[in-house]
Amino acid sequence: MIEIRNLNKKFDGFQAVSDLNLRVKTGSVYGLFGTNGAGKTTVLKHIAGILRADSGAIEINGESVYENCSIKGRLAFIPDDLYFFSACSLQESALFYRSVYRGWNQDLYEEMTALFKIDLRRKLSKFSKGMQKQAAFILAISTSPDYLILDEPIDGLDPLIRKLVWKRILDGVAERKMTVLSSSHNLREMENICDSMGLMSEGRMMIERDLNELKSDIQKVQVAFRNEAAPGENRYSGLEVMHRESRGSIDLLIVRNPKNAVESSIRAHDPILLDFLPLSLEEIFIYEFGGDENAAKDTLF
């Protein structure tokens, strides 16, 4: 398990992270969302043991990460800003990784290089950003990490390669209970991958929830009745309506209540239409921020 408690970090007087708490269960995929400047990369670098916290605790399985070689030997970090030894090829880099990581899997490395069809002898500094990202994934996954930390992992990758990357990551989660923490701007793509998520804004954690729990608590509903409501009648009383709009005789509601509570409350007023509609992670975040779509998108995207 990865756990952060009350993390604070300043850079030259700027408060980058404030009293942040985060928890990632073993064998799960956690998505960390927020705009540029929200503090995501700073948090990931603390988990990877690159940065020392001003205050607070960063632990993996109860052990502090900073300057902990045994933990770092079980962890792989792929930053958004990649770095390679300038004169090295992928093949030479693999030899270095093999000498450092006890979990190096040569068979997996050979399988992945064949799958990605990457030139093993060409200098990595001559690769495009997308090819460098592929090389970083090959090296990281081949170390058989127990913990994989990713900063904007799919930027610069074409759709086919993205699918291959996520398949390999999810295989590691399923087969070895690898724990994955990934920052991203792409809510739609991460929605189908994550077990839980956190939303950061201005260095603070705004929301941290299990994804299934988050979705089960908020409903998107279409409702219509035979007759107009009587004066003073509120057919949605007792429900926490976050958003309501009318499309002719049909009301579209976003409601923060369990599905069975919403259904029983509305059916008591004998609706002629009651449909529960799919609700995306993006919509949930927008309405969690008070229903102001533009303000929410400024925070999220």
The answer to whether the beta carbons of residues 146 and 117 sit under 8 Å apart is no
What residue ranges of the chain have pLDDT lower than 50? 291-301
pLDDT of residue 260: 95
The answer to whether the beta carbons of residues 148 and 76 sit under 8 Å apart is yes
CA angle, residues 104, 133, 142, in degrees to nearest 5: 10
The β-bridge partners of 207 are: 199
pLDDT of residue 156: 72
pLDDT of residue 289: 60
pLDDT of residue 290: 53
pLDDT of residue 55: 97
